[in-house]
Chain A
Amino acid sequence: MTNAIEFVGDVSVFSLRAIADLFRPPFEAEQFWIQLAEIGSRSVPLIVASGFALGAVMTLHTRSTLVTFGATAEIPTVQSLGFFIEIGPLVAGLLMAGRVGSGIGAVLANLRVTEQIDAIESLSIDSFKFLVVPRVLACVIALPLLTLIMDFSGLVAGFVAEYAASGISWHLYIERAFASLDWANFVPPTLKTAVFGFIIGAVSSYFGYTTSEGAQGVGKAATNSVVLCSLLIIVSDVVLVQCIAVAFPRTAL
Chain B
Amino acid sequence: MANRNFLIGMFVLIGLTLFTIGIFLIGKRHGAFARHVEFYTEFKDLSGLTKGTKVKVAGMDAGQVAEVGVPDSPLSRFRIKLQITERLRGLVRTDSVATIATEGVVGGSYLLVGAGSPQAKAAAPLSTLPSREPVDMSKLLEHGLVLLKDADINVNKVGAKVDETLDGVETTVGNANDLVVGLKQGRGPAGMLLKDETVASNIRQSVTNAKEATAALHKASGRVDDMAADIQSRGVTKKVDETITSARDAAANIKDSSKQVHQTVAAATKPDKHGVDAGTNVRETLSNVNVASANMTEDTEALKHNFLFRGYFNHRGYYSLTNLSPENYRKDRLFTNPENKRAWLSAKELFIREGNSEVLSSEGKKQLDAAIYKFGESVFDRPIVIEGYSNGADPANDPADALSSSWRRAILIRLYLQNRFPLYPTNLGIVAMKNSPPNGLGYSEWDGICLVFLRPQK
Contact = CB atoms under 8 A, between A and B. Distances in A.
B4 A149 contact: no
A247 interface: no
Contacts of B16: 145
Contacts of A250: 50-52
Contacts of B30: 182-183
Contact of A40 (B11, B18, B26, B61): B11
A186 B26 contact: yes
B52 A149 contact: no
Interface string A169-185: 00000100111011101
Interface in B1-32: 4-5, 7-8, 10-12, 14-16, 18-19, 21-23, 25-26, 28-30
Contacts of A149: 14-15, 18
B52 A181 contact: no
A22 B18 CA distance: 27
Please tell me the size bucket of the interface on B.
20 to 34
Nearest to A150: B18
A34 interface: yes
Interface in A109-133: none
A193 B7 CA distance: 21
Interface in A163-204: 174, 177-179, 181-183, 185-187, 190
A61 interface: no
A164 to B, nearest CB: 23
Interface in A62-107: 71, 84
A220 to B, nearest CB: 30
Please tell me the size bucket of the interface on A.
20 to 34
A36 B11 contact: yes
Contact of A152 (B18, B26, B51, B104): B18
Contacts of A41: 7-8, 10-11
B14 to A, nearest CB: 6
A125 B208 CA distance: 130
Contacts of A40: 8, 11-12, 15
Given A181-B25, A182-B26, A183-B26, A145 B4 contact: no
A145 B29 contact: no
Nearest to B64: A182
Interface in A27-71: 33-34, 36-37, 40-42, 44, 71
Interface string B36-64: 00000000000000111000000001000
Contacts of B18: 145, 148-149, 151-152
A183 B27 CA distance: 8
A222 interface: no
The B contact surface, by secondary structure, is helix
B335 to A, nearest CB: 136
Of the candidates B4, B10, B28, the one having the most CB atoms from chain A within 10 angstroms of its own CB is B4
B8 A37 contact: yes
Nearest to A33: B8
Nearest to A148: B18
A142 B25 contact: no
A52 to B, nearest CB: 14
A18 interface: no
A145 B26 contact: no
A178 B25 contact: yes
A44 B15 CA distance: 10
B7 A148 contact: no
Interface string B99-131: 000001000000000000000000000000000
Of the candidates A42, A145, A190, the one having the most CB atoms from chain B within 10 angstroms of its own CB is A145
A34 B3 CA distance: 11
A129 B131 CA distance: 63
Interface string A129-161: 000000000000010111011011000000000
Given A148-B15, A250-B50, A36 B8 contact: yes
Given A37-B4, A41-B7, A250-B51, A181 B15 contact: no
Of the candidates B5, B7, B30, the one having the most CB atoms from chain A within 10 angstroms of its own CB is B7
A251 B29 CA distance: 15
Interface of B: 4-5, 7-8, 10-12, 14-16, 18-19, 21-23, 25-26, 28-30, 50-52, 61, 104
Given A41-B7, A145-B18, 15 more contacts: A33-B4, A36-B8, A37-B5, A71-B104, A145-B15, A148-B18, A149-B14, A149-B15, A178-B26, A178-B29, A181-B25, A182-B52, A183-B30, A186-B23, A250-B51
A-B pairs, 7 with minimum CB distance: A145-B15, A41-B7, A148-B18, A41-B11, A178-B25, A40-B11, A37-B4
9 contacts: A36-B8, A37-B7, A37-B11, A145-B15, A174-B25, A178-B29, A181-B26, A181-B29, A182-B52
